[in-house]
A and B are shown apart, each in its own frame.
Chain A
Amino acid sequence: MIVELGHFALVLAFAVAIFQMIVPMIGAQKNWSAWMAVASPAASVQFGLVAISFAALTYAFVTSDFSLNLVVANSHTDKPMLYKISGVWGNHEGSLLLWVLTLALFGASAAWFGGNLPPRLRARVLAVQSSVGVAFYAFILFTSNPFLRLEMPPFNGQDLNPLLQDPGLAFHPPFLYLGYVGLSMAFSFAVAALIEGRVDAAWARWVRPWTLAAWVFLTIGIGLGSWWAYYELGWGGFWFWDPVENASFMPWLIAAALLHSAIVVEKREALKSWTILLAILAFGFSLIGTFIVRSGIITSVHAFANDPERGMFILLILAVFMGGAFTLYALRAGAMEAKGVFSTVSRESGLVLNNLLLAVSSLVVFIGTIWPLVSEMFWDRTVSVGPPFFNAAFTPFAFAIAIALPIGAVLPWKRARLDRAVRAMSGVAALTLALFGFLYVFTTGNSLAGLITLALGVWLVAASAVDLWQRTGQGRDIGAKLARLTRLPRADWGKAIAHAGVGITFIGVGGLVTYQLEDIRVAQIGEEFDVGAYHLTLRDVREVQGPNYISTMAFIEVAQNGEILGVLNPEKRIYPVAGMPTTEAGIDSGFLRDVYVALGDPQLDGGWAVRTWIKPFANWIWGGTIIMSLGGFLSLSDRRYRVAAGAKREPSTAVGVPAE
């Protein structure tokens, strides 16, 4: 009964979305205010209906309703509750339902918080947002319906893919989707502005928080995914340049470019048409990402044939929305002329360089990701494009961004002097070079590129601190400067913290790649061995029964300088129902290093294969993504957005916000 209710709610949401797509758009065109005004309640109703539908599916999973095909294929009564819930989106149909739920949530948020948007723009934004919804509701209802019943319900389910039964991955998709789908907001604003034929500072001020929020969620989602890969896949890699990973990385890069170019539109009324283009591209990459993940086309051309209907449907959605948006762009972008004037050396130029590098690096990832397909289609040449390519082709752009970032970040608007900016950063540059030289001469690393990454990370973090400190003005009075530091707008803090977060991730990646130690051996029970400065003892290997798996668990003691740090429990698990083995690494996590142990096969002579790594700065990689997100949230909480949100009520006390 509840399941039917959910199904019915989804169909109703589809109907509401069609209504919301058409009526407000006509209203905006004809200037009929009543027709425009229905957009907001429609968006709320649509969200309510999808939420009911999603709740119904969640209920079916929680109560293990095996009359539903989807629950049978992805759940089991023995599964822990957390994974019964995450099982809702751990599959194609459910994840698409989460997709439209997020889409409707963003649409409804625009209706709830967009009170001060011009009514016509709001009507158009909500109509465009809803048109995306219409496409995906149709996709779900016609090709991927999660509410299909079975005529003969089995007694139990087939369990969720064990790799997905993990806390990190339970929350990875929702964050990623908040990011992917959040970019639909930027897209809707861009298309609405093109229809309107007008982009101004106010428009950018509305678009930026949505983009920033989407970017923050993408950052968290990607960070969680990378962290999961690190501890779950068993060999401690943190990024594999897999098509599915790239699918989330491309929109992340474009979103980063977009939120910077929107600053230029907001403050200087320049880069308008470029910003619109980026907004369209960002969502385009989200759709492409969905297409890549859902059709399986990149992994193998043949996987596409397994499910041509779904693949074709998403491709069609992509073609309609991107084709439509680009056509509109070609017709209207010319009208968006720039107003702001700036000299060759200025913050504006710095941000143009930022945008260029981010856009090109994301296109490099894109071309590398689709190349196997293109090559096979046009030249009948089957090639593989793996990490060695991306490391070679992407890294130079990442380095260029890192080198230029601190200089660009301190350039003033309109007219700047490069020598002044360089002088401000000269101390930091000297420190960075000295550190690089010292490490290069006195340590043995695995990789020069890794060492450069590490040094650039230090450069970024130190430069962010200097940037903040410089904002406190001239003078020698430390107390006054510190007081001024606390009064800086949150956007400034957000900027410095997000940039430092990038640096911290650089340090993590560089440190790990350069100074990682590895040891592969056969260890007998009771055997002791050294890896780097650490002394390990294989105490025992036992079989342990889990809730829905059987584990072979090792007990490995880790000591340093005679002091026992703890016992690690790397495991090999078997999930009998799903029929799949997995590994769980044993990790002693630390601020400066991880000791990472994986258990292999029993050997003929009675020992066990044990693989040990010392991974310096590993946690800095994800720490950096957390700090980037924190910077984004701080910037989102800046006064001007709060002022914009509740414009009339805000008491105008004389707390001066420094004009920029």
Chain B
Amino acid sequence: MKVVWIKAAVAALWLIATPAFAVQPDEVLADPALEARAREISAELRCVVCRNESIDESNATVARDLRLFVRERIMMGETNEQVMAEVVDRYGEYVLMRPPMSGSNLALWLAGPALFLIGIGVAAGFIRSRARITIPEEAALSAEEQAALKRILSEK
């Protein structure tokens, strides 16, 4: 009885979810160059129902549908840009794993280079100030440190 129940459960699970397989053999295009393009595009598109996965990695049905759509359009002779534009038309900007360099997203893209340039400026100023300075006099020891020094010296 129990075995039957488990088998039924297993069968049901097979139907619901087939984990971590993503691209299925029947999706693969015959022409390796076109397939490579399809994979390249797939890695840039988000599976909209998943947790931070591209359609290339996802097992969800929507991801499979989108992969098939991409391949269909490639077979129709569209360029990568045309395919991506069509997908964005359908699902919105959210579907792009690489946020477009426009509007507020510029802040995202420019943050790294800008911080680096500012950092270089500050660092250069600091290094130059270090290089120019003459050696300052050593700060005098505090009374506490004097005592510690005396103690250490007398230990020898």
Question: For chain A, which range describes its interface: under 10, 10 to 19, 20 to 34, or 35 or more residues?
Answer: 35 or more
Cα distance A112–B23 in the bound complex, in angstroms: 55
Please give me the residue from chain A that is nearest to B109 by CB atom: A393
Cα distance A583–B21 in the bound complex, in angstroms: 9
Cα distance A611–B96 in the bound complex, in angstroms: 26
B114-145 toward A: CB 8 Å interface, digit per residue (1/0)? 01100110010011101101111000000000
A445 to chain B, nearest CB (A): 13
Chain B interfacial residues counted at CB < 8 A: 53
Cα distance A371–B109 in the bound complex, in angstroms: 10
Residues of A at under 8 Å CB distance from B? 233-235, 237, 240, 242-243, 270, 299-300, 338-344, 348-349, 352-353, 356-357, 359-361, 363-364, 367-368, 371, 375, 378-379, 381-389, 392-394, 397, 520-522, 550, 572, 574, 576, 579-583, 598, 600-601, 603, 609, 611, 648
Residues of B contacting A338 with CB < 8 Å?
Answer: 130
Residues of B contacting A340 with CB < 8 Å?
Answer: 130
Say yes or no: B115 contacts A234, CB within 8 Å.
no
Cα distance A393–B112 in the bound complex, in angstroms: 7
Residues of A contacting B112 with CB < 8 Å?
Answer: 360-361, 363-364, 367, 393-394, 397
Say yes or no: B51 contacts A582, CB within 8 Å.
no
Say yes or no: B21 contacts A384, CB within 8 Å.
no
Please give me the residue from chain B that is nearest to A241 by CB atom: B52
Say yes or no: B52 contacts A386, CB within 8 Å.
yes
Cα distance A520–B32 in the bound complex, in angstroms: 12
Say yes or no: A367 contacts B108, CB within 8 Å.
yes
Say yes or no: A344 contacts B13, CB within 8 Å.
no
Residues of A contacting B130 with CB < 8 Å?
Answer: 270, 338, 340-342, 348
B73 to chain A, nearest CB (A): 19
Residues of B contacting A364 with CB < 8 Å?
Answer: 111-112, 115
B139 to chain A, nearest CB (A): 8
B28 at the interface (CB under 8 A from A): yes
Please give me the residue from chain A that is nearest to B92 by CB atom: A382
Please give me the residue from chain A that is nearest to B25 by CB atom: A522
Say yes or no: B19 contacts A581, CB within 8 Å.
yes
Residues of A contacting B20 with CB < 8 Å?
Answer: 233-235, 582-583, 598
Say yes or no: B10 contacts A388, CB within 8 Å.
no
Say yes or no: A363 contacts B127, CB within 8 Å.
no
B71 at the interface (CB under 8 A from A): no
Residues of B contacting A299 with CB < 8 Å?
Answer: 51-52
Residues of B contacting A520 with CB < 8 Å?
Answer: 23-25, 28
Q: A234-B20, A352-B123 are in contact. Are A360 and B104 (CB under 8 A)?
A: no
Residues of B at under 8 Å CB distance from A? 6, 9-10, 13-14, 17-26, 28, 43-44, 46, 51-52, 54, 57, 92-99, 103-105, 108-109, 111-112, 115-116, 119-120, 123, 126-128, 130-131, 133-136, 155
Say yes or no: A389 contacts B99, CB within 8 Å.
yes
Q: A371-B99, A387-B54, A389-B99 are in contact. Are A581 and B22 (CB under 8 A)?
A: no
Q: Sorted from nearest, which 3 A-B pairs have the closest CB atoms?
A: A234-B20, A386-B97, A388-B98
Say yes or no: B126 contacts A609, CB within 8 Å.
no
9 A-B pairs with C-beta separation under 8 A: A234-B19, A235-B20, A237-B57, A299-B52, A384-B97, A520-B24, A579-B9, A601-B18, A609-B24
Q: A364-B111, A371-B99, A388-B44 are in contact. Are A598 and B21 (CB under 8 A)?
A: yes
- Within 8 Å by CB of A383, from B94, B123, B131, B133, lies B94
Q: A364-B111, A598-B20 are in contact. Are A352 and B126 (CB under 8 A)?
A: yes
Q: A237-B57, A352-B127 are in contact. Are A378 and B104 (CB under 8 A)?
A: yes
Q: A270-B130, A384-B94 are in contact. Are A379 and B111 (CB under 8 A)?
A: no
Cα distance A304–B117 in the bound complex, in angstroms: 35
- Within 8 Å by CB of A389, from B17, B97, B116, lies B97
Please give me the residue from chain B that is nearest to A391 by CB atom: B98
Say yes or no: A384 contacts B19, CB within 8 Å.
no
Q: A299-B51, A393-B109, A582-B19 are in contact. Are A349 and B135 (CB under 8 A)?
A: no
Residues of B contacting A382 with CB < 8 Å?
Answer: 92-94
B84 to chain A, nearest CB (A): 12
Residues of A contacting B17 with CB < 8 Å?
Answer: 580-581
Cα distance A234–B17 in the bound complex, in angstroms: 14
Residues of B contacting A383 with CB < 8 Å?
Answer: 93-94, 96, 99, 105
Specify which of A348, A375, A386 lies most central, judged by the most chain B CB atoms within 10 Å of its CB: A386
Cα distance A359–B119 in the bound complex, in angstroms: 9
